[in-house]
Structure 1
């Protein structure tokens, strides 16, 4: 999913260059969903509400959490290598609540964390109260979790669910598959000071209901997330999160797939652990 408006972004000055590598795959003729007219992106605009309230929450906390293992990492980063070359740093040492955790305490580790956290915050899990709380507990600075939880609980309201095509309780209507998925395209560090980092993540995302007759068919978007992270409890934690549209390429002429094709693709193709 994407949060479309930026209200308190970071400095957009030049940072690192290059593209994000992906590692460790986790899984293994159509009209547009039954002839439904491709809608305007009102649902996308409404999702912006979530982004806006998240932007208002910012705090740095210090606490201990260590569920990643101390797997040795190579520290040589081979300065001057090609953009797609491996950094030589192990991407993560473990997982917490299904989200990659245990990043290196360096610029590459901060970028890897930001990319994977963007995936978590843009997932369909955020539309389920219990799963959303797990996500927040895993990636948000500990002292900020309760504030994030309160604001997001208010944002994910019955009206919000209804406007993105879900039932008022956030469940998916029978016969449909709800899709909210974010895929980072690249990352760059805007600032890094050892225990703090500002990172931008360029993403594309999918959101909508796949199913015959859907009035909210799955659409794509392009956006850039800016995150401020802090090194807390031997890992990177999200402190602030802002978002803006683009950069977006010109749309191609690929035909829109059927509802079944989209649902099968999203359910059948696993995501990745992202590493810089």
Structure 2
């Protein structure tokens, strides 16, 4: 603290000579409460650093508490269904997609992830990846379609779908999309079929069964010169009845419905060449969540 911080220092106009360096007199400060101070008032108490440190500490703790409360992952609940425990019916509350510490799947059958955990997160992950696989361009070729069905569905359902889906991928139907009978696009064109999961909801999970809904957007169409079916976006929701079989989640049955679809944005449509290059440069996801 400088001398200027004390009353009376830095200017004694109108006062008798202070005697500093001259008269040899000594100034005396009277104790508080006795007759007043010759310097015009008591010395101001020095502001200690303790209060400032305490205030900073409180602010740091408050910020840490807010950050902890807003951390992703939601409630730390024990995984339902693990080990065949009791079931949990989920409401309309969205499932968080933040990391939970559970390792992602380590196995693959071709490009399809396998080996999901028998938990809510595992069921949601399975459903999201199943959505990607059954909406991929691999479904338009017989061999890869059968592999996808065998990998994702329980055996009885896979066998049934191999027959039931064949008419949907018959040469006439493929031709409407610009593909040949084998599911190949014309030379110089790129066929696009992708699904991008937006969110998942575990509707119910109990023991060896689970019901999971996946809201997703998709890309479908042909990018190339003279295409009569340009690439467009779709919005759908798929619901999967899953069964724990062979130490993994499999699809027992599934249904699809349109929407919910948001209002289209203001983006101008890209050219067929730009879409083709984007498909080549940006690979589709094989593991979501």
TM-score by length of 2: 0.66
Per-residue deviation at 1:84? 4.5
How far apart in 1 are the matches of 2:260 and 2:269? 22
Q: Which sections of structure 2, spanning at least 5 residues, go unmatched?
A: 1-89
Cross-structure match for 2:177: 164
Give the match's secondary structure for 1:149: helix
Instruction: Confirm whether residue 246 of structure 1 aligns to residue 273 of structure 2.
Output: no
Per-residue deviation at 1:169? 3.6
Give the match's secondary structure for 1:186: strand
Aligned residues of 1:97 and 1:138 also touching (Cα < 8 A): no
Instruction: Confirm whether residue 14 of structure 1 aligns to residue 91 of structure 2.
Output: yes
Aligned residues of 2:132 and 2:196 also touching (Cα < 8 A): yes
Cross-structure match for 2:36: none
Q: Larger radius of gyration, structure 1 or 2?
A: 2
Cross-structure match for 2:275: 262
Aligned residues of 1:16 and 1:189 also touching (Cα < 8 A): no
Give the match's secondary structure for 1:146: helix
Matches within 5 A, 1:68-107: 83-107=96-120
Cross-structure match for 1:110: 123
Per-residue deviation at 1:106? 0.9
Give the match's secondary structure for 1:247: coil
Per-residue deviation at 1:16? 4.6
Q: Deviations over 1:91-139 (max 9, x none)?
A: 2121112201110001110010000010000000000001101111111
How far apart in 1 are the matches of 2:225 and 2:176? 18
Aligned residues of 1:16 and 1:190 also touching (Cα < 8 A): no
How far apart in 2 are the matches of 1:15 and 1:198? 13
Aligned residues of 2:240 and 2:253 also touching (Cα < 8 A): yes
Cross-structure match for 1:193: 206
Give the match's secondary structure for 2:166: helix
CA RMSD of aligned residues (A): 1.7
Number of aligned residue pairs: 201
How far apart in 1 are the matches of 2:111 and 2:94? 29
State which of 213, 228, 248 in structure 2 corresponds to 1:215.
228
TM-score by length of 1: 0.69
State which of 133, 153, 166 in structure 2 corresponds to 1:153.
166
Q: Which sections of structure 1, spanning at least 5 residues, go unmatched?
A: 1-12, 19-82
- Greater RCO, 1 or 2 (C-alpha within 8 Å, sep 6+): 1
Cross-structure match for 1:41: none
**Misfit runs of 4+, over 6 Å:** none
How far apart in 2 are the matches of 1:122 and 1:228? 17
